[in-house]
Amino acid sequence: MTTEARQEDGGGVATSPETLSITDNRTGKQYEIPIEDGTIRATELRNIKVDEDDFGVMSYDPAFMNTASTRSAVTFIDGEKGILEYRGYPIEQLAEQSTYLEVAYLLIHGELPSKDQLEEWTHHITYHTYVHENVKEFMHGFRYDGHPMGMLEASVAGLSTFYPEAAAIKDEDVRYIQVIRLIAKMPTLAAFAYRHSRGLPYVYPDNDLRYVGNFLSMLFRMTELKYEPDPRVERALDILFILHADHEQNCSANAVRSVGSSQVDPYSAIAAGVAALYGPLHGGANEQVLRMLHRIERKENVPDFIAGVKEGKERLMGFGHRIYKNYDPRAKIIKQARDDVFEAMGTNPLLEIALELERIALEDDYFIERKLYPNVDFYSGLIYEALGMPVEMFPVLFAIGRTSGWLAQWLEMITDSEQKIARPRQVYTGERGRDYVPLEKRS
């Protein structure tokens, strides 16, 4: 509330401790804006006007550097301390003791499931892994060398045409079945995209296998009657899915929320998340780490490479984070998964270079002063490569894990009475009121 009224009453500016006092030097008027949870409501600024016709002050914040777009109870991050929690549970405990499907339940429902609830949830997801046969047809239409992330993005959006009832987003039961379908079908679509890009026949889901084991089967099964996933690989990928499941209001979660705020069906909203994740600044960094390691080629070349980074010639990919100014907690956990996969599949020769990079960087003042630590992508690419995944599949794997987080964010947004269609303002900098010039009169 402004204190304009108070001023007129001769009250001056109140000095309640939970408020922000603003003086508009254009008018000399003073305003008092409530501070709630460390934020002020941007719409309060609209009361600050030079006169009645004035639109009011707006906040200008390209890239949302300092704007909270929502209240959320899904994921907590403290970047200074290196803390990541899903629904209040530390990522370390979840990665060590939980499974991806249980974490997905937690993200969606807000609570860990009971034994019966988990069984039912797992059953539902397992029995929704099949996709309509026509999906194979449109997958077939993609070029053989198309990027699997493009195929995933298009096929997730395409699912909305198979489930038109999903448009009834206000119906809780309808929403719930789409959540199940999306978590269940994402690995199937991802595996189909991979098989298509390899020119291999599609492998149907095997309901006897667990979520990750079934995904591995759909990716890698050849002539064997039954695919038996290596439990170490299965567990490692399960952990990677847990680590990638949510990361609060990141670019793709924001895309899901923004597109979903138009009240479109969830397949279209999640497809927007896949599109955002496709970008190299978001889901593509692990691919860059691998390219960097290949380029460094040998451990002996690491000091020269680091010297180049310090001279500003290039970046040490997989290091640094906008939010984490401490060790990315996901990067710590991933080390164990890395060792397990290497034990099962054989060591990736690039590991030696990565370890040397990490060792030198963590001791070097340049990285210490700037608080640059390994992030989740420093080792995930090495693991994926050891699993036999081509680099194009890296963001696809990220998308499978992130689906439960996107859905949790989408559900929260849909049921939040404060949310409306997302529609930012702009500061217009273009021309005004020009007269149209007919083509023949333009020079």
Size of the site for ligand CMC (CB under 6 A): 17
Q: Kindly state the smallest distance separating residue 351's Cβ from ligand CMC, in Å.
A: 17
CB of residue 250 to ligand CMC, shortest distance in Å: 6
Q: Which is closer to ligand CMC, CB of 194 or CB of 305?
A: 305
Say how many C-beta atoms besides its own lie within 10 A of residue 303's C-beta. Answer: 11
The verdict on whether 51 is a catalytic residue reads no
Active site annotation includes 294: no
Q: Which of residues 352-391 bind ligand CMC (CB under 6 A)?
A: 370, 372, 375-377
292 is a site residue for ligand CMC (CB under 6 A): no
Q: How far is the CB of 405 from ligand CMC (least distance, A)?
A: 12
Give the nearest distance from C-beta 70 to ligand CMC in angstroms: 19
CB of 361 to ligand CMC, least distance (A): 8
Choosing from 94, 151, 285, 400, the residue that interacts with ligand CMC (CB under 6 A) is 285
CB 326 → ligand CMC: shortest distance, Å? 13
Binding to ligand CMC, residues 202-221 (CB under 6 A): none
Of 300-359, binders to ligand CMC (CB under 6 A) are 309, 315-322
72 to 111: interface string for ligand CMC, x by CB under 6 A: ----------------------------------------
Are residues 18 and 36 in contact, defined by beta-carbon separation less than 8 angstroms? yes
Beta bridge partners of 374: 319
> Of the two residues 67 and 117, which places its CB atom closer to ligand CMC in the complex?
67
Residue type, 137: E
Phi and psi for 30 in degrees, rounded to 5? -120, 145
Q: Which CB sits closer to ligand CMC, 311 or 440?
A: 311
Q: Considering 132, 282, 339, 416, which one is annotated as catalytic?
A: 282
By beta-carbon proximity to ligand CMC, the closer residue of 295 and 315 is 315
Q: Assess contact for 314 and 321: CB atoms under 8 A.
A: no
Q: Which of 246, 265, 321, 328 is catalytic?
A: 321
Considering the complex, state which of residue 148 and residue 318 has its C-beta at the smaller distance from ligand CMC: 318
Please report how close the Cβ of residue 126 comes to ligand CMC at its closest, in angstroms.
30
**Closer of 128 and 325 to ligand CMC (Cβ):** 325
With CB atoms as reference, the residue minimizing the distance to ligand CMC is 320
321 is catalytic: yes
Nearest CB to ligand CMC, comparing residues 318 and 401: 318
Indicate which residues carry an active-site annotation. Answer: 282, 321, 377
Q: Site residues (CB under 6 A) for ligand CMC?
A: 247, 282, 285, 309, 315-322, 370, 372, 375-377
